Amino acid sequence: MAVSTRKNRGTRPLVVTLIVIALIAGLGFAYASPYIALNNLKRAADARDAQTVNQYVDFPGLRESLKQQVTGLLTRRLDAHGNGNPLAAIGAMIGVALIGPLVDAYATPDGVAALLNGMPPRGEPGERPPTPPAADNPAGANGPAPASRGAAQPADQSAGNGANPAGGDAGRSPTPPQTTAGYRGLNEFAVTYQHGAGDARYSAIFRRQGLFTWKLAAVNLNE
């Protein structure tokens, strides 16, 4: 009995140590989980892997957010340039009528790829998501994308400068934007894009669904 008791006492510190290690590993994975989701989503979107994209995007939430954000974009544009100009008002009404098709175009793997490559909607008539560089050039997908850096180092990250405006021409691959990624609360994680000092910024927003699951659920076009 004495030998058995000593063995039990000897195993307790080991069990406690293993439990502590498991807790630390779990907390570390929980902290890194949005960076991992961002990395996986960007790779899937660039590859037009719709099945994987669906796992990381809350499309109903993204659609609603896009609708609100594009409406706000057009409203600000009208307020800035309207000044009682009837042509501007007509243009704004036409833009509002095109919100549905624009949202439909961006709530797709193509649109998600554009959002995660620094090419947000600009509220232009007939606008469709530009083709991201990685989709044009498969070799580009192996380059240092902002998302992959975020997953590898779970901390706020910055990437290279760019000169082209956000949402560049569909036939042109814009310079990669500056990006920062980080938590905005326990259940919200945002990736912010900016092409240069003084340029407008926008964010792709991930929200927690469960302990380790994150999905792209919203955008903010007026950071």
Higher pLDDT, 98 or 61: 61
* Rounded-to-integer distance, Cα 107 and Cα 111, Å: 6
- Does the pLDDT of residue 155 top 50, yes or no? no
Selected residue with higher pLDDT from 87 and 158? 87
Lowest mean pLDDT among 18-27, 30-39, 181-190: 18-27
**Model pLDDT, residue 5:** 57
The answer to whether residues 223 and 199 touch, using CB atoms and an 8 Å cutoff, is no
Q: What is the pLDDT of residue 168?
A: 42
Q: Quick one: tokens of 214?
A: 């994150």
The tokens describing 38, both together, are: 């961002």
Average pLDDT, the chain: 77
Distance CA 42, CA 144 (A): 12
36-90 pLDDT per residue, tens: 999 999 999 999 999 999 999 999 999 999 999 988 888 877 776 655 566 566 6
Token pair recorded at residue 19: 């439990």
Give the pLDDT confidence score for residue 97 in this predicted structure.
Answer: 72
At residue 133, the 3 state secondary structure works out as: helix
CB 40 within 8 A of CB 189: no
Specify the range with the lowest mean pLDDT, choosing from 7-21, 36-50, 85-99.
85-99
**How much is the pLDDT for 55?**
96
* The predicted structure's pLDDT at residue 184: 95
Q: CA-to-CA distance for 174 and 189, rounded, in angstroms?
A: 25
At residue 21 the predicted structure's pLDDT band, cuts being 50, 70 and 90, is: confident
Kindly report, residue by residue over 100-124, the tens digit of the pLDDT: 889 999 999 999 999 999 999 988 8
Q: Tell which wins on pLDDT, 7 or 219.
A: 219
**Residue 193 buriedness (CB in 10 A; 0-12 / 13-18 / 19+):** buried
